[in-house]
Amino acid sequence: MAFPEDVLTKDERVALHLHPHWKALILPVLVLALAVAAVVAGWVLLPGGTGGMVGLYAIAAIALVLVVWRSLWPYIVWRSTHYVFTTERVLLQTGVFSRHRRDIPLNRVNDHSMNQTLVERLLGCGTLTIESAGERGQTVLTDIPHVERVQTTLYELTEQDHDRNTLGEDEMREIMQSTRDGRADR
């Protein structure tokens, strides 16, 4: 479930490639540990014989369902969620069976802000809000790891994109002169 590099343009390079913060995996790991503990406890505590084996199989079946539903599936969703910051755009990709991708060109980013609760500050994550010109407006990215660094990187990328796409004074003079020359020929 790695991010496909073939969606990048020829001169585009990845500055940051992130998944949601690891705190999203705390509950799935706890569910896995509890499921394993329940199966081990059933194996040790249930009496031998047919009744004990049926009980152990029932515990194991419930544990398996819980592990797939509350541990494996959240892990797969976490791995298939990508926040990619490139030299040209911000790509947001989610989805396990179907894929949803949103591209925000850097030249459309109007504003970006970050927000952290006390717990998020302790864990090193937060929420990044990107406001862009277009019909969708704001995009809120939750559980971004190292959100301060990500916001700084986004600022640097937007400034580099602005500098790359802004004409210097010399280029402006050349365009103005060629426009004047074109009018004089008429």
Q: Which two tokens stand for residue 64?
A: 């398996």
Nearest to 21 by CA among 155, 143, 152: 143
The residue with greater pLDDT, 51 or 184, is 51
Is residue 76 helix, strand or coil? helix
pLDDT at position 101 = 92
List of residues 6+ apart from 42 with CB closer than 8 A: 55, 56, 59, 60
Write the pLDDT tens digit of every residue in 116-175: 999 999 999 999 999 998 777 899 999 999 999 999 999 999 999 888 877 666 665 666
**pLDDT at residue 175, as a whole number:** 63
**pLDDT tops 60 at residue 186:** no
pLDDT bracket for residue 179 (50, 70, 90): low
Q: Which two tokens stand for residue 19?
A: 């998944």
What local confidence, expressed as pLDDT, does residue 176 receive? 62
Instruction: Give the tens place of pLDDT for each residue, 70-82.
Output: 999 999 999 999 9
- How confident is the model over 104-114, as pLDDT tens digits? 999 999 999 99
First vs last C-alpha separation in the chain? 60
In this predicted structure, the answer to whether residue 27 has a pLDDT above a threshold of 60 is yes
